[in-house]
Amino acid sequence: MQKHTQARHHTDITPPGTLLRYVQLPWLMQHYPRIPVFALYNFLSGFLSIGLMAAFAVILHSPFIFPSLGPTAFHYFSRQTAPTASPRNAIIGHLIGTVAGYFSLVVTGLTTAGPAIANGVTWPRVLAAALSLGLTAGLMILFRRSHAPAGATTLIISLDILTQPWQLVVLMSAIILLTLQAIAINRLFGMPLPLWSPPAAPAKSVDGSYKD
C-alpha cells in the first residue's frame, strides 16, 4: 500500500502527457527494483559515453580514449551528488594531473625517453612516477579539487604513454567532452549531476552506497 501511495504521489507531480518520465530514473526506481535499474543505467551510460569517445579516437586519429576516462565516467554516472564527481573537480583534477605528470618528465629529463612499457622502468622513471602522483595528490587536496581518476592521468603521462603537448591538449579536450556527455545523459534521465560545482552539502548517491 505504501509503495502504491508513493508511486501515485510521483505521478501527481509529473507533468501529464510527458512520455519522457518513463525513462527518468527516479520514476523507474519507484516502480522497479532500485539496484537493477541503477545497474542497467550505468551499463548503458558507460557503454554510450566511452563508445563515443572511442569512436572520436578512430575518426580523428587522436588519443580521445585512455584509461582514466573509465573511472571518471563511473563517478559521473554512479556518484552524481558526490563532490569528487562534480565537473569542477573532474576537470581541474585532471588538469592538475596533466601538469604534474609533464612537470615530472621535465625535471627527470624523460620528455623524449619513450614509453616505460617499451623501454623498461629506470630509476629516473621511478622518480617521475612517484613525483607526478605525489604532486597530483597533494595539489588536489590543497586546492580542494579531489578526483581520484586524475591519479591515473598523471601516471599515463609520467610513464610516457601520452607526452606530446598536442596529446595533452587532446587529453583535456576528451575530459571536457566526456563531462558534457555526462551532463546531457544524466539530465535526460533525471539525474542530479551538477553543471559545475558540487551540491552545497555532501549527499548519498542514488543507490545509497556512497557518501562523501
Query: What's the pTM value of the predicted model, to 2 decimals?
Result: 0.85
Is residue 36 very low, low, confident or very high in pLDDT (cuts 50, 70, 90)? very high
For 108-130, what is each residue's pLDDT tens digit? 999 999 999 888 899 999 999 99
> Quick check: 79 and 85 in contact, CB under 8 A?
yes
Helix (H) / strand (E) containing 138: helix 123-142
Gap between the Cα atoms of 85 and 193, Å rounded: 8
Q: How much is the pLDDT for 205?
A: 52
Q: Which pLDDT score is estimated for 119?
A: 86
For residue 189, what is its C-alpha cell? 534521465
Residue 16, CA atoms < 13 Å, CB-side half-sphere:
1
Predicted pLDDT of residue 212: 47
pLDDT digits (tens, 9 = 90+) for 143-202: 999 999 999 999 999 999 999 999 999 999 999 999 999 999 999 999 989 999 988 765
Domain spans of the chain, in order of start:
66-188
Type of residue at 60: L
Three-state secondary-structure class, residue 177 = helix
- The CA-atom distances, in angstroms, between 143 and each of 53, 68, 88, 105, 178 are 29, 21, 12, 23, 23
- Residue 125 backbone phi and psi in degrees, to 5: -70, -35
Question: What cell was used for 123?
Answer: 630509476
CB-CB contact of 49 with 42 (8 Å): no
